């Protein structure tokens, strides 16, 4: 039996906008096994970004439970959520979120600085990861000297820096052309197969989503369909 690493149990998220209550999630239930690769897909307003915030410990539910690695984080304070994110979760964003004045090595090592990793180990780890994503010749280049695909590869290396159990990619190909998008998705698949991290990809593109083991389609804050992806 596969070990559970993430569970969402009857999760609701309600936002108050003026005098209106907006239910972004409406009793979402989802279980993700350790080492699994899943995709969340849905149109704008379906709840997939809010679901990502729950899975990534970026927010807590209005009601329901979010259990990550056996811990119910639903009542965690922000400081506890930040500690959990730093140790357990790596993020890859659509807009890369790199520091423009830092080179690739420095952008990757900064994630380890907050975990008090010694400098020599940070640099060695960054070089190893940048080599793994095919950026060995570009290690000393800044984001402004790189293409969009290269920037996203730096972001992927940074997400792996602290050896997290969970990787969350939010529209990782959203700012890339089709050829580069295919390369990035191939890279994520290969890195998943190599490192066996739990990988969650949030996307609106079905062909990208189907590279996962399972594809969950969201609508109106709940899962309406689960599609089998690659075997």
**pLDDT < 50 stretches in the chain:** none
CB-based burial label for 130 (10 Å; 0-12, 13-18, 19+): buried
* Residues in contact with 161: Cβ distance below 8 Å, sequence separation at least 6, in sequence order: 90, 108, 109, 111, 112, 125, 126, 129
Give the separation between CA 77 and CA 110, rounded to whole angstroms: 24
Amino acid 120: pLDDT: 97
Segment holding 118, helix H or strand E: none
Best CA proximity match to 169, nearest among 55, 90, 89, 92: 92
Amino acid 219: pLDDT: 96
All structural domains of the chain, each given as residue ranges with its CATH number in brackets, are 4-228 (3.40.50.300)
Give the separation between CA 59 and CA 49, rounded to whole angstroms: 11
| 18: its two tokens | 């003026």
Amino acid 231: pLDDT: 73
Query: Residue 138 in 3-state DSSP?
Result: helix
> Angle formed by the axes of helices 148-160 and 104-113, to 10°?
30
Cβ-contact 168, 55 below 8 angstroms: yes
| Neighbour tally for 74: CB within 10 Å | 17
Maximum separation of any 2 CA atoms in the chain, in Å: 55
Bridge partners, residue 199, by sequence: 37, 167
Amino acid 1: pLDDT: 61
Amino acid 2: pLDDT: 74
Amino acid 128: pLDDT: 97
> Angle formed by the axes of helices 148-160 and 119-132, to 10°?
130
Best CA proximity match to 60, nearest among 21, 14, 91, 2: 14
């Amino acid at each position: 039996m596969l070990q559970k690493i993430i569970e969402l149990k009857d999760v609701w998220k309600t936002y108050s906008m003026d005098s209106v209550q907006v239910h972004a999630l409406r009793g979402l239930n989802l279980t993700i096994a350790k080492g699994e690769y899943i995709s969340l897909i849905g149109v704008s307003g379906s709840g997939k970004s809010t679901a990502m915030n729950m899975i990534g410990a970026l927010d807590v539910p209005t009601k329901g439970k979010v259990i990550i690695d056996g811990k119910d984080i639903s009542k965690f304070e922000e400081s506890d959520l930040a500690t959990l994110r730093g140790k357990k979760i790596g993020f890859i964003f659509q807009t890369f979120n790199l520091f423009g004045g830092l080179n690739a090595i420095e952008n990757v090592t900064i994630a380890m600085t907050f975990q008090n990793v010694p400098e020599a180990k940070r640099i060695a780890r960054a070089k190893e990861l940048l080599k793994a994503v095919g950026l060995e010749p570009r290690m000393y280049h800044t984001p402004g000297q790189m293409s969009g695909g290269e920037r996203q590869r730096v972001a992927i290396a940074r997400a792996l820096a602290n050896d997290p159990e969970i990787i969350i990619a939010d529209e990782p190909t959203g700012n890339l052309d089709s050829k580069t998008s295919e390369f990035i998705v191939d890279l994520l698949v290969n890195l998943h197969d190599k490192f066996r991290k739990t990988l969650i990809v949030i996307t609106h593109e079905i062909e990208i989503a189907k590279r996962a083991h399972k594809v969950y389609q969201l609508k109106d804050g709940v899962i309406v369909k689960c599609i089998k992806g690659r075997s």
